[in-house]
Structure 1
Amino acid sequence: MKIQTSVPTSKVARASQFMKAGVKVGGNYIKHYSKKLLDPDLSKDELHKDNAADIYDALSELKGSALKMAQMLSMDRGLLPVAYSDKFTMAQYSAPPLSGPLVVKTFKTYFGKTPAQLFDKFSIEAVNAASIGQVHQAWKDGKKLAVKVQYPGVADAVSSDLKIAKPLAVRLLNLNERDIDRYMGEVESKLLEETDYELELKRSIEISEACAHIPGLVFPKYYPELSSKRILTMDWLEGMHLKEFMKTNPSQEVRDRIGQALWDFYDFQIHTLRQVHADPHPGNFLMRADGTMGVIDFGCVKVIPDFYYDNYFRLVNPDTIDDAQLTEEIFENLEFLTSEDSPKERAFFSDLFKQMTRMLAEPFAVESFDFGDDAYFNRVYAFAEGLANVDELKNSKVARGSQDGLYVNRTYYGLYAMLNELKARVTTTKPEWLRSTKALV
């Protein structure tokens, strides 16, 4: 695997990496359209593959918020062509790691000691490398530990990286610049939180202790005395990431048990704690043959405001959508509808968001749900893809949807996607007030 000996930290150096990626993407388009002159039926598959590789290579060298964006996009199968989501998935747990000297330098900065002086044994070669930091194995007092080391300069570059990356995102994803601006503050605040390992340590201990009663979940013990603002030490958990685990051909019973643990984990956090592990990608879960699952990485936690929670989940109740007046009131509260809308726009967007709500809330409308039902997910992805071509959305004068929904929706999207890949059948536990009062047909 490629080893990085340095990370660009200055604004100029990081901007140059983005520019280099943009130039390569432009060159790929020229190459594609030159070939298309000779072959009018040429698809964009090769173009997407080349662009994905060039963009990932540039972002992986930058680390931090740039690579985190790729990681987030890899979960959005309806937003990106497959070539991008497949390549960007590497950002979840297999980015190029940093060299040993940079790791040692980080320890000296925050502890005044080398890893060898802090631990009985420390593996200088990273076992996993993701967007914000990389993980090393260590041993102390007979215990095997996981030590997460943050990449240099990541925290200081969050704000400038997002500003530089915006034009590339607008061009590549055909996104509305106004929509990106609306949510940039929410993304920036969460990325800054993810670089604060002292905050992550506090949240990791609090949430893992609160969720320890949920069957099938395993959490590591954390070590404050071996942690700092940029280094986090915890017990080493055994297990496999989702794709690796599925290659072992686990039984339906085991997949269902893990899927149920996943569902119950998020159900408890959202409805009881009102804060949630908002980064449900496969790199943060370790699955085992006995149907248990380790949970790691509480860097991205979304605290759900009461007003947003009350309105969002009232909408999820299947009975609400049949009450036109109540539904419209909630759409206004969630900022799907605005005071600037004309009667025609109001009718159009009400109908559109009702369709979306019914579809995404289907698992809540029943007592159990088969997440292995690809027909359901194909409908969801087709609907999401269709939204990109809705002129009324593209030309809307306002961005729609509360910024609080960004990470709540992403949480459910990631949860659904993982359950789909597991092909799990799950009892969809939920608060009583979310159940329909009408007899299920």
Structure 2
Amino acid sequence: MMKEQENIPTGKVERATRFVSAGIKVGGNYVKHYTKKLLDPSLTKEDLHEDNAKDIYNTLSNLKGSALKVAQMLSMDRGMLPTAYVDRFSLSQYSAPPLSGPLVVNTFNKTLGKSPQQLYDHFDMHACNAASIGQVHKAVKDGKKLAVKIQYPGVAGSVSSDLKIVKPFAIRLVGMKEVEMDKYFEEIESKLLEETDYKLEVRRSIELSESCSHIENLVFPKYYPELSSERIITMDWLEGKHLKEFIDTNPSQEIRNKIGQALWDFYHFQVHHLRKVHADPHPGNFLMRDDGTVGIFDFGCVKEIPEFFYENYFRLTNRDIYKDESKWKQIYTNLELIHPNDTEEDMQFFSGLFHKMVDLLTLPFTQEQFDFGDETYFKEIYAYTDYVSNLKEVRNSKVARGSRHSLYINRTYFGLYSILSDLKANVKTMFVPEVQL
């Protein structure tokens, strides 16, 4: 059993001090690495990345909250971080150190006025998994198995200050300029603040699971508002395996395709019919079963899609748009990919980069069926994103390229593609945009 935490630093100064100590360790790792490299010039940066990832993750996992959530988000963007960071940060999806019993009981007493023992027939004081913002406990009431999610103390109050502290780490790790980070961190902050409001999450969970209940092979838990509060959510316990554990059982191609299709249809329906979407598609939020069904929960991060953004974003799935230069230039301008004050040279350079990127990312939408098991497709995406991020024109750009709304929509599709890739699913993907060219 993982060692439990007796407390979490909630004050700004204490949290900042922990971050600084992590920074000092990272600095020491660099010194250690370059000293070794003097003795062995063939040494690569893999050990350095591994040491840094371990030290940063250990600090973040004990602090919990927004900083750990950002690490989790970065771990989903393959090609953005060295593998050591991706492997280590992805642990935050469901295996951060859990909180001890007294802190759990305190949250119940404060927000529901009763202890867990008074509310449930049985409540397991040891968390069965722990992530960035909360941890999950098993419970039983009236013969029903329940999952009870409890938010860590101080998470809601430390979102803004945590993001200010973690920003320099993110800038260094991702190689993004501060002007870009500011624009996107505002969007991240607004979403993280929503994620800490568990009453909002329960309302959205009920609304979206009911709206998507007609989609084949999806299973949603029932939620219990009377056993929930702003820091606690009670729902049915879902059986199933997380992605890696599920793949280790060597499921048949038919079952992989069935689950992949269910996930594709789930996201397709939300984006194109509801204009709001479960925007946190990491493997910790899905439970896969041997019969080809998939359990979906955690609607804490929901992105509402403005109509103007939707129309422009999905017009790019139609390749005919590129036959009319004035049309695609207007769409690129609307999506903030190119800017009115760009020089002609800038406009040509960046639009060329985005043409290729759009072609790659929209490829599944242009085919009747798409094989997400095609590794050459993903290698091409990762190679191209790596190439683009290292271009000096991109690194030295004075403006952030892309609407703030694209952050969570891109993240949603990258996350979905990543899961479908791991499943090696073959999925019916053809998409006909409702918007006019």
| Residue 420 of structure 1 pairs with residue 431 of structure 2 | no
Partner in structure 1 of residue 216 of structure 2: 215
Q: How does 1:112-127 map to 2 (within 5 A)?
A: 112-127=113-128
Partner in structure 2 of residue 147 of structure 1: 148
Rounded to whole Å, the distance in 2 between the matches of 1:200 and 1:25 is 36
Q: Give the Å deviation of 1:396.
A: 1.1
Q: Comparing 293-302 with 32-41, which one deviates more in the overlay?
A: 32-41
| Residue 264 of structure 1 pairs with residue 265 of structure 2 | yes
Rounded to whole Å, the distance in 1 between the matches of 2:19 and 2:278 is 30
Partner in structure 1 of residue 21 of structure 2: 20
Rounded to whole Å, the distance in 2 between the matches of 1:41 and 1:434 is 55
Rounded to whole Å, the distance in 1 between the matches of 2:59 and 2:69 is 13
Q: Give the Å deviation of 1:171.
A: 2.4
Q: Give the Å deviation of 1:433.
A: 4.1
Q: Comparing 176-185 with 145-154, which one deviates more in the overlay?
A: 176-185
Partner in structure 2 of residue 408 of structure 1: 409
Rounded to whole Å, the distance in 2 between the matches of 1:263 and 1:346 is 34
Q: Give the Å deviation of 1:319.
A: 1.8
Rounded to whole Å, the distance in 2 between the matches of 1:433 and 1:226 is 41
Rounded to whole Å, the distance in 1 between the matches of 2:430 and 2:217 is 15
Q: Which amino acid aligns with 1:298?
A: F
SS at match of 1:316: coil
SS at match of 1:138: strand
Partner in structure 2 of residue 156 of structure 1: 157
Rounded to whole Å, the distance in 1 between the matches of 2:130 and 2:430 is 34
Partner in structure 2 of residue 94 of structure 1: 95
Partner in structure 2 of residue 439 of structure 1: none
Per-residue Cα deviation, 1:105-125 (whole angstroms, up to 9, x for no partner): 000001111100000000000
Partner in structure 1 of residue 80 of structure 2: 79
Partner in structure 2 of residue 382 of structure 1: 383
SS at match of 1:137: strand
SS at match of 2:379: helix
Contact 2:81 2:173 in 1 (8 A): no
Rounded to whole Å, the distance in 2 between the matches of 1:430 and 1:363 is 9
Rounded to whole Å, the distance in 2 between the matches of 1:146 and 1:431 is 39
Rounded to whole Å, the distance in 1 between the matches of 2:21 and 2:319 is 49
Unaligned runs of 5+ in 1: 437-441
Q: How does 1:265-280 map to 2 (within 5 A)?
A: 265-280=266-281
Contact 2:366 2:431 in 1 (8 A): no
SS at match of 2:223: coil
Per-residue Cα deviation, 1:283-320 (whole angstroms, up to 9, x for no partner): 00000000000001000000000000000000122222
Partner in structure 1 of residue 106 of structure 2: 105
Partner in structure 1 of residue 229 of structure 2: 228
Contact 1:365 1:435 in 2 (8 A): no
Rounded to whole Å, the distance in 2 between the matches of 1:425 and 1:369 is 6
| Residue 329 of structure 1 pairs with residue 339 of structure 2 | no
Q: Give the Å deviation of 1:435.
A: 11
Q: Give the Å deviation of 1:324.
A: 2.1
Q: Which amino acid aligns with 1:314?
A: R
Contact 1:318 1:435 in 2 (8 A): no
Rounded to whole Å, the distance in 2 between the matches of 1:365 and 1:241 is 30
Q: Give the Å deviation of 1:82.
A: 0.4
Q: Which amino acid aligns with 1:122?
A: F
Per-residue Cα deviation, 1:256-291 (whole angstroms, up to 9, x for no partner): 000000000000000000000000000000000000
SS at match of 2:404: coil
Rounded to whole Å, the distance in 2 between the matches of 1:207 and 1:323 is 38
TM-score with structure 2 setting the length: 0.98
Q: Give the Å deviation of 1:173.
A: 2.9
Partner in structure 2 of residue 430 of structure 1: 431
Contact 1:170 1:177 in 2 (8 A): yes
Q: How does 1:160-199 map to 2 (within 5 A)?
A: 160-199=161-200
Rounded to whole Å, the distance in 1 between the matches of 2:69 and 2:398 is 29
Partner in structure 2 of residue 55 of structure 1: 56
Contact 2:198 2:230 in 1 (8 A): yes
Q: How does 1:240-251 map to 2 (within 5 A)?
A: 240-251=241-252
Rounded to whole Å, the distance in 2 between the matches of 1:259 and 1:296 is 16
Q: Comparing 293-302 with 309-318, which one deviates more in the overlay?
A: 309-318
Rounded to whole Å, the distance in 1 between the matches of 2:341 and 2:157 is 38
| Residue 205 of structure 1 pairs with residue 206 of structure 2 | yes
| Residue 344 of structure 1 pairs with residue 337 of structure 2 | no
Root mean square deviation, CA, Å: 1.2
Rounded to whole Å, the distance in 2 between the matches of 1:172 and 1:207 is 34
Rounded to whole Å, the distance in 1 between the matches of 2:95 and 2:264 is 26
Q: Which amino acid aligns with 2:225?
A: P
Q: Give the Å deviation of 1:434.
A: 7.7
Q: Which amino acid aligns with 1:108?
A: N
Contact 1:63 1:132 in 2 (8 A): yes
Contact 1:183 1:406 in 2 (8 A): yes
SS at match of 1:364: helix
Rounded to whole Å, the distance in 2 between the matches of 1:417 and 1:34 is 37
Rounded to whole Å, the distance in 2 between the matches of 1:321 and 1:380 is 21
Rounded to whole Å, the distance in 2 between the matches of 1:321 and 1:83 is 39
Q: Percent identity?
A: 64
Contact 1:193 1:300 in 2 (8 A): yes
Q: Give the Å deviation of 1:166.
A: 1.1
Per-residue Cα deviation, 1:340-381 (whole angstroms, up to 9, x for no partner): 100100110111110110010100110100000000000000
Q: Comparing 9-18 with 173-182, which one deviates more in the overlay?
A: 173-182
Rounded to whole Å, the distance in 2 between the matches of 1:323 and 1:78 is 32
Partner in structure 2 of residue 287 of structure 1: 288
Q: Which amino acid aligns with 2:311?
A: D
Rounded to whole Å, the distance in 2 between the matches of 1:57 and 1:324 is 50
Contact 1:94 1:130 in 2 (8 A): yes
Rounded to whole Å, the distance in 1 between the matches of 2:436 and 2:83 is 36
Question: Matched residue pairs, number?
Answer: 436
Rounded to whole Å, the distance in 2 between the matches of 1:330 and 1:432 is 15
SS at match of 1:221: coil
| Residue 68 of structure 1 pairs with residue 49 of structure 2 | no
SS at match of 1:55: helix
Structure 2 CA distance for partners of 1:429 and 1:123, relative to 1, 3 Å: farther
